[in-house]
Amino acid sequence: MLRMITAFLLLLSLSAVAQQQSKEELQRKTQQLLKEIEDVKQDLAEAQKNKKASLGVLRGIEKKINIRNQVIQNIKGEVYYVEKDIIKTYREIDTLKQELTTLKDQYAQSVVYAYKNRSNYDFLNFLFSAGSFADALKRVSYLKTYRSYRAQKAGDILRTQQLLEEKVASLSGKRQEKTKALDLEGKQKAELEEEKKEKDKVVAQYSSQEKQLRNMLANREKERKQLQNAIAAVIKREKEAALKKEREEAARKKAEAAANNTNTNATAATGTATKPTNGAKPNPPTATTTVKKRETSVLENTPEGLIRSQQFEENRGSLPWPVDKCVVTLKYGTNMIPGFGSRPIEVPSDGITMEVSQGSNVKAVFEGEVNSVFPVGDRYVVMVKHGKYFTTYSNLQGIAVSKGQKVSPGQVLGRAALNDEGVGEVSFQIDTEKGTQNPEAWLRRR
């Protein structure tokens, strides 16, 4: 009884961990996460080649810690399912034991009865005491059925014993599976503690260089604002050009309509009316086609611009990353950098910043047109237009494209330059005339 209560309480504590996933799904995800950790380790090894702490190293360690926590939670979920199987097996074993006891008792009773009525005299007496021939036949059938019942009970006992042995063996296997999972959990927890120490060490290095880091972040913020102003100016210029083109087109259509109206009036004055030829009748008004509502922009005032915007939107969540390998150091929005007293430093970001190897190729994520190449500090920025969307790649060197050039997905735009820490870095963002977008919502999951 105590064993059952303890197991029940354990199931309650682990049920929240398992959620709605199966044990097989948890095991598969655990293996995927462990592979992710190995990939992060490789990226970190690349980032640590300069033998100094960097934001990329810190973010890489944090990513490892987050994934490791997920692994531990998945293993807890696996243990939950194994415990559930063990309890179920215990119940099945108890049920089989009770069933086996009942079968043995029933078989024993039948054996005792058969022993007491074992003589041929009793058998014949039972038959000849029948009131009629039909009754005698029924008694013969009953005796056959009784013998068959005894044989069936004997077979049931053998099968139940075999099933019981299988369940006991299965229980042993489940216990081994649980032990293996708990061993893996223990190893993951040990790895987690080492990674936390590794993070503390990097944070301590950062803390010792607080003044330099604050200066670097101040310079980064200055460049961020400069970049945003430049992007806003480019989009404003594109929007004004589109509006001008739209006004010119409207004026042209108005002039054409006025000319057509003049010709119509002149024809009416001569008394000749235009009639449909070949008995044709004017076309009736067509029904309005239902189209999925989407926010339009003046930047889509050409068929090409509209198609490009729609294609870009259709690829949301599946765009390729602009670099092959990286550690994301700054995410979209406000980032918190720990290590300076009780309050971390807040660092805003209009896109994502990636730490990469110096000179890594930076590639276009979608087809479009280069609408601007300009410097920020001693590094360069490339902006590519995709209808009403703009992708911006900054902190580049060795620019490989020029303004007005058409680019395709995966085409090299330039190479990654060093940041103020002496580490290769690239920033990537997506904008519309309405403001910035979260790039990670558009890029495929790594």
**pLDDT, tens digit, for every residue of 267-306?**
555 555 444 444 444 454 444 444 457 788 889 888 888 9
The average pLDDT across 237-244 equals 90
Query: What average pLDDT does the chain have?
Result: 79
Q: What is the DSSP string of 2-24?
A: HHHHHHHHHHHHHHHHHTT--HH
Name the strand (E) or helix (H) holding 213. helix 210-269
How far apart are alpha carbons 391 and 394 in whole angstroms? 10
More confident: 112 or 323: 323
Residue 441 has pLDDT above 60, yes or no: yes
Question: What tokens were used for 21?
Answer: 């996933």
DSSP state letters, 346-411 = EEEESSEEEE--TT-EEE-SS-EEEEEEEEETTEEEEEEEETTEEEEEEEEES----TT-EE-TT-
Domain ranges, ordered by start, for the chain? 2-208, 210-241+313-441
pLDDT at position 166: 76
The reported pLDDT for the residue numbered 430 is 97
**Please, what sign has the CA dihedral across residues 68, 71, 73, 76?**
negative
Q: Are 355 and 62 in contact (CB under 8 A)?
A: no
Measure Cα distances from 181 to 86, 177, 201, 416 in Å: 14, 6, 30, 43
Q: pLDDT tens, 12-71?
A: 544 444 445 787 888 888 888 888 778 777 777 766 665 556 777 888 888 888 888 988
What pLDDT was estimated at residue 3?
A: 47
Report pTM.
0.64
User: Above pLDDT 70, what percent of the chain?
Assistant: 73
pLDDT digits (tens, 9 = 90+) for 337-362: 775 555 777 889 999 999 888 899 99
Tell me the per-residue pLDDT of 86-97, one tens digit each, with 9 for 90 and over: 887 778 777 777
The CATH code for residues 2-208 is: 1.10.287
CATH 3.30.430.20 fits 210-241+313-441, yes or no: no
pLDDT in tens, 125-156: 555 566 666 666 666 666 566 566 656 666 66
Does 2-208 match 210-241+313-441 in CATH topology? no
How many C-beta neighbours within 10 Å does residue 182 have? 15
The residue-averaged pLDDT of 69-82 equals 87
